[in-house]
Chain A
Amino acid sequence: MSGNRRVLTRRLLAIGAAAGRRAEAGRIRFGSLAAAAGALTVALASIAAIGVAYQARMDRIDAAMPVVDESAAVDSRLLLMEDVFDELADGRQFTVVYFEPVGPDAPLPPGMDAWPEPGQVLLSPRLHEAGADERIEERYGEYAGLIDPDALADPGQQIAYVVADGDLSVAGEYPLHVVGFDPSGPPEAMGVFWLVADQDFSVPGLVAIAAVMLVLPALLLAAVAVRTGAELRDRREQLVTVLGGGRRERFLISLGESAVPVAAGALGAGAAVVAAAALGFTVPYVDFAVAGGELLRAWWLLAACPIAAAAIVLATSALLGSRASDRRSTRPRAARRPRLLIAWAALNPVFIVTAVLLPPLFAGTPLYPLLNLFGVAGVMVTLPAAVAFTTVLIARRAERFGRRTRRPAWLVAGRRIAERPRSTARQVTGVAAGAILVCLLLAFQGAFTTQAARAQQDLDRYGMPAALVSVNGYGTAAQTAEFTAALHGRIDLLAATEAHVGPSAVYHLAGSCEALAAFALPCPEPGTVVSPDGPLEDPRLQRWLERHPSGDAALTFEQGDPGAAVEADDITLLAAATDGGDVPVADVKAAGSAFTLGVTVAASDVSAGVPHREQARWIALFGNLGLILLAAVAGIGAAGEFIRHSRALAPLVAVTGGVAVFRTMAALTVWLPLLAAALIGLGLGFLVTRPMTVDSIEMITPGLLIACAAAVAAVGLVMWQWASAAMTKEASTWRPGRGD
């Protein structure tokens, strides 16, 4: 490179840098560019982190894969292993893994560095914390400590290890004969952490949601930020173009102008990402813990994120730079009558009706979801036009109000918005459509929870007056007696077996005379099976039978020993709270430690919906972040437009001293449209997805809607203050005849 060319490069970079420094509302431009680079860095790092965390998680899940050898000799190197399911109230299912080391050389499972005593229990930290209210420490035996979280699939995993104090080979149905833990174990073997892997959100799904909700809005933010307050840069690029400069020269100006804020944003966000990766963090709202250092195993990928983000924003800045040569005229054009816009806007309520009111007319047919989806898609497509049309109507009223009451801010802002409906529509459409998209994704997620929703409705309606308790594995009469004794006075128990006679279910109950009397049943002679003479007197029993899936179940009963029945036939027990309230599930489970593998309480199917509900929190989290970014996109764009168009007012305001006009104008043009977009989007999203969510767990909660609206409103508020402060400052420093 020749000397003059080097000088030229330096000059062009300096010209760009000066344009950045001198830009009116320069702080907004600096902040916007930095925010765009930072947001893109975090968005890209999120996707990278999903991949890295997933791989690390899978590695640990694989490391917990048992090496099973059913033909191995029963010697000191063998470990018997069996797992059962359990759950906390309103929590997802987790596994309770029972181990029985045959000898001292038995392999230790992941997260355990020495064998506790038989009957002792180790809990994962998260289960220990979450189960405190249900006295989880007492549920499976004697609590002996925590499982090392570093060895778990993730630090938030819920799992319990129990060292069996009985003969697992007798009590367990299919105990695995484990000779080691090795990721290269046979693929058919089920790992210790299999359930948590099974409950995982699909990684491609999570990446797709992150891409749509984080990366895409961050790119939009970059596109808006590079055009915000770029007038001085544009003028310099145009001048250099006239003087014979080409793409390279314009790029250098763009680079000089944008490099500092972009680098600041990317490096700041990159440093935060690295710090979080090094220290470990818990993803808020979803409560997913990432261990410190885990993400740093792919440090190069994390390091690439700020570099890629900066490169993308700088490239966007260069690509979306001055395009004066493409324009035929910079003079204002006559406004066209937006006939097409009005037609599209008119279709919006038609689609709302299609989405909300038509599906119920076709309940139970494939048309139900199809009509709803068609309506929702139509609402999203026609929303920009509807928002623009509504905006124009409101703006005209604002203009008239301003004229009538002699409020210049209302007059000017109303006039401006009314003249430029498409611009306002573009400004708010991202937020409104994003809000509907979030509701739609949550509604889809909710559609997987029909079973759990019905169980919840059932629970809400009937409560849990009685529950079936099944012994995990094999139970002896002595264990049953111990179990019964532990619950004596609090829980009434009968042995229960279910049979089907034709389409009807028949429950057969057996218990001591005392136990039968607790359910208001007479005590027949031993060996005599009887049916109730009339209606059941015990309301608990009555409600429990009513809740049978096939309708009212019939009942027979006899005098007998539940313990013997359990030992002989592996039957279940019917438990009902003595005081007539809901069955205290946690107490029953704690008493179940009398059995080698504990008990399962068939309380309800509510827990089946928990993984979907927890996965939905990822959608809500990313959705909310996406809405914040979209709000920033809209807010920055609106603030930039506001400043550009309000410059003409600066001399007038400087002379009259009425800077307050900027506050009102900025509120009307920057904050109000954003707030309206959030409310319209979330409201419509909630409304049009109703038909999809009537029979599922409610994922679109009032709390979530309020949080989303509040986040957007807060971003709008910041942008409002920023824009009005920038204009106030510009007006206060304006002097006659001073150019740049």
Chain B
Amino acid sequence: MSAPSRPALAIAALRYTIGDRVLFDGLELELAVGESAAILGPSGSGKSTLLSLILGMARPDEGTIAIDGTDLAGLGTAALAKVRAGSVGMVFQFGELLPELGPEDNVALAAMLAGDDDPGLPDRVAELLRRLGVPQSPRVETLSGGERQRVAVARALVNGPRLLLADEPTGALDETNRDNVADLLFALPAEQDCALLVVTHDRAVAARADRVYTITGGGLRAGTEAQR
């Protein structure tokens, strides 16, 4: 169990380039458990790349990224996978659910990948889905967009992550579903004892966060001024 004072996410002096383009230069961000933050930015500003770096899918040129106190630098593939499985939950824009699995299996998959040996996993998953308001269905393809996104949220939560990441989680939803999913997401830090980082285009969604940042000049600026 990590100490409560340890930040769920700590990014320091991050520098990342693609070719001769500097995407981040000296980017800093710290998120404590129970906090939420939203990052706004125009297309191509590096919002999704920042999530990739936090997930360890890409390596920074300089700087450190620590999740729940674990510095990702120097971790091997297996160790990174362990951090991702155990400490991070991720919600994608389009859910990225596997159509060949039902909602329960989609959620349980993440737990099993984290090495969850609990025989009561199916019950836990069913309870989680029920709590998030996902109706029972043999296939995710028969669920609505909002319901699918709730399944994706359940999948992100099933391992009890310290850090929840969401990449345009409401981008594919209508207004009603957008509000429902956004409300659900931003209530999670307090309910689930985790930190939430959302990247989005949507100011209305971002406004629900404790802190809002905009990517500009290779770093994060508090507020929404730079958003187009």
Contact = CB atoms under 8 A, between A and B. Distances in A.
B1 interface: no
Interface in B76-131: 77-78, 81-86, 88, 90, 94, 96, 98-101, 105, 108-119, 121
Contacts of B109: 8, 11, 240, 243
A733 interface: no
Interface string A1-22: 0111101100100110010001
Interface string B156-178: 00010000000000000000000
B110 A244 contact: yes
A4 B111 contact: yes
Given A243-B84, A244-B84, 16 more contacts: A3-B119, A4-B119, A4-B121, A7-B112, A11-B105, A11-B112, A18-B98, A18-B99, A18-B100, A240-B109, A240-B113, A241-B57, A242-B55, A242-B84, A324-B57, A333-B19
Contact of B58 (A8, A22, A328): A328
A235 B58 CA distance: 17
A14 B85 contact: no
A645 interface: no
Contact of A244 (B99, B114, B118): B114
Contacts of A104: none
A329 B114 contact: no
A328 B21 CA distance: 12
A740 B113 contact: no
Could you say which of A4, A5, A247, A329 has the most chain B C-beta atoms within 10 Å of its C-beta? A4
B117 A2 contact: yes
29 contacts: A3-B119, A4-B111, A4-B118, A4-B119, A7-B112, A8-B109, A8-B112, A8-B113, A11-B101, A14-B100, A15-B98, A15-B100, A18-B98, A22-B100, A235-B96, A241-B81, A242-B57, A243-B90, A243-B109, A243-B155, A244-B113, A244-B159, A245-B81, A245-B113, A246-B81, A247-B78, A325-B57, A329-B18, A739-B94
Nearest to A239: B96
Given A15-B101, A18-B98, A329-B18, A243 B110 contact: yes
A165 interface: no
A426 interface: no
Interface string A226-237: 000000000110
A324 B114 CA distance: 21
A428 B195 CA distance: 52
A249 interface: yes
Interface of A: 2-5, 7-8, 11, 14-15, 18, 22, 235-236, 239-247, 249, 324-325, 328-329, 331, 333, 739-740
Nearest to A8: B112
B100 A244 contact: no
A245 B84 CA distance: 8
A333 B98 CA distance: 30
Given A3-B119, A18-B98, A243 B58 contact: no
Contacts of B121: 4
B113 A325 contact: no
Contacts of B78: 246-247
A400 B116 CA distance: 60
B35 to A, nearest CB: 22
Contacts of A7: 108, 112
Q: Which residue, A7, A247, A328, has most C-beta atoms of chain B within 10 A? A: A328
B140 to A, nearest CB: 11
Nearest to B17: A328
Contacts of B119: 3-4
Contacts of A11: 101, 105, 109, 112
A119 to B, nearest CB: 80
Contacts of A242: 55, 57, 84, 90
B78 to A, nearest CB: 5
Nearest to B165: A242
Interface in B53-89: 55, 57-58, 77-78, 81-86, 88
Nearest to B44: A331
Nearest to A6: B112
B117 A325 contact: no
Contacts of A243: 84-85, 90, 109-110, 113, 155
Contacts of B114: 244
A740 B96 CA distance: 10
A423 to B, nearest CB: 20
Contacts of B112: 4-5, 7-8, 11
A740 B111 CA distance: 24
A185 B57 CA distance: 70
A325 B118 CA distance: 31
Nearest to A246: B81
A240 to B, nearest CB: 7
